[in-house]
Amino acid sequence: MARRPTIKDIARRAGVSESAVSFALNDRPGVSRDTRARIRRVAEELGWQANSAARALSGERSGAVGLVLARPAQTLGVESFFLQLVSGVQEVLSAARTALLFQVVEDVDAECAVYRRWWAERRVDGVLVVDPRTGDPRPALLAELGLPAVTIGEPGPPDGPPVASGPQAGTGAPPVSSVRADDAGAMAQVVEHLHGLGHRRIVHIAGLPGLAHTVRRMESLRAEAERRGLGPDHVRSVVTDYSDAEGAAATRRVLAEPQPPTALVYDNDVMAVAGSAVAAELGIPVPHRLSIVAWDDSALCRVTHPRLTALVRDTAGFGRLAAEELLSVLAGAPTGVRESERPRLEPRESTAPAPAHTDS
């Protein structure tokens, strides 16, 4: 139950004033090299660490950033995406001695309430916003509060400005920073792959329709299909809530149609695995009668039999990028947009040439 040393202790031991200590420890001018070194040494000996509350109180940053995950409880937990992201985020943050406040809430309203609270309590210097939505209320709120933010996963190129950032297109720095993912390009890649294998009937088992990237993927799918002369009777999306249950149900439904698809693209790994179990149950061999692609790779995709072809992306890297952007904004840089790497399609055993007679 040791007492925590304070700046005063250091000052006494080093025979200088408290302010000299503060200057020395914060790399500010006003102390000689020697004194600075001496103070540093004493601080080290005492194992001093700045009291974060005191620091925050005297107008500095609080040294923490927040991340809220708005998911209904039951949707939670199986996707690997999130923890990977956080682990990337942390890598960058902890190097900058910044803490991460983490909250799980039920919906976006609750999320906004958390932002307000954090802001009022001065708990965080900025936030990372995940799951951008269409008509997202969050960037506006954050801009109003003046809480620096980075949105993670806004759909990026090739199609124009981000969906959620509002109307000031083109005019300098956006209201909040973002790290974008090339969902459209990735979808194009998937379509390319499947079309090249001869697939003409493709169904995209999409995630939540309110999320910006879901919309972008659906748009891209339609555009790519049209470019190849395939209409909505051949290629389309159906939406779900990302859960294994809805993924399975949607799979069952589309496979029961008179002209079932020969390829399915799932918006996450869990649904893809659920879907492949449904196929197994129905006695539909994968990949000979049905090809399956999972968006986001994880152990899951490698664990099933056959192993699933997946869009692999460096999720931790994505998190690092976001954390870096946030730190740079906190350090005073203008808001900006960073593009993450284009996901890579990793063909495994769940995709194969389309069965012969399915071009009706």
Q: What b/e sequence results for 253-287 when a residue is b if at least 16 CB atoms lie within 10 Å of its CB, and e otherwise?
A: ebbeeeebbbbbbbbbbbbbbbbbebbeeeeeebb
- Closest CB 84 distance from DNA, rounded Å: 34
User: Would you say 6 or 80 has its CB closer to DNA?
Assistant: 6
Stretch binding a second copy (CB under 8 A), from 43-51, 156-164, 194-202, 219-227:
43-51
For residue 28, state whether it binds DNA (rule: CB under 7 A): yes
For residue 25, state whether it binds DNA (rule: CB under 7 A): yes
Please report, for residues 186, 312, 351, 352, the alpha-carbon distance to residue 348 in angstroms, rounded to integers and kept in the order given: 17, 12, 7, 9
For residue 51, state whether it binds a second copy (rule: CB under 8 A): yes
3-state secondary structure 38-52: HHHHHHHHHCCCCCH
- Closest CB 251 distance from a second copy, rounded Å: 11
Please state the length of the chain.
360
For residue 77, state whether it binds a second copy (rule: CB under 8 A): yes
For residue 26, state whether it binds DNA (rule: CB under 7 A): yes
For residue 173, state whether it binds a second copy (rule: CB under 8 A): no
Task: Report how far residue 75's alpha carbon sits from residue 299's, in angstroms, rounded to the nearest whole number.
Answer: 19
User: Would you say 7 or 184 has its CB closer to a second copy?
Assistant: 7
User: Would you say 107 or 192 has its CB closer to a second copy?
Assistant: 107
For residue 136, state whether it binds a second copy (rule: CB under 8 A): no
- Of residues 134, 209, 196, 191, the one with CA closest to residue 165: 134
User: Would you say 40 or 307 has its CB closer to DNA?
Assistant: 40
For residue 312, state whether it binds a second copy (rule: CB under 8 A): no
For residue 80, state whether it binds DNA (rule: CB under 7 A): no
In the range 188-247, which residues lie near a second copy by CB under 8 A?
A: 243-245
Task: Report how far residue 8's alpha carbon sits from residue 73's, in angstroms, rounded to the nearest whole number.
Answer: 47
User: Would you say 5 or 210 has its CB closer to DNA?
Assistant: 5
How crowded is residue 150: how many other Cβ atoms within 10 Å of its Cβ?
31
Please report, for residues 48, 56, 248, 251, 280, the alpha-carbon distance to residue 284 in angstroms, rounded to integers and kept in the order given: 65, 61, 14, 12, 6
- Of residues 181, 75, 174, 190, the one with CA closest to residue 132: 181
Task: Report how far residue 8's alpha carbon sits from residue 312's, in angstroms, rounded to the nearest whole number.
Answer: 53
- Closest CB 307 distance from DNA, rounded Å: 52
In a 3-state reduction of DSSP, which class is residue 93? Answer: helix
For residue 37, state whether it binds a second copy (rule: CB under 8 A): no
Residue whose pair of structure tokens reads 């000996």 in the numeric block: 45
Q: Of these, 19, 94, 168, 259, which contacts DNA (CB under 7 A)?
A: 19
Residues that bind a second copy (CB under 8 A): 1-2, 4, 47-57, 62-64, 73, 76-78, 80-84, 86-87, 90, 94, 97, 99-105, 117-123, 144-146, 243-245, 248, 270, 273-274, 277, 280-281, 298-300, 302-305, 316
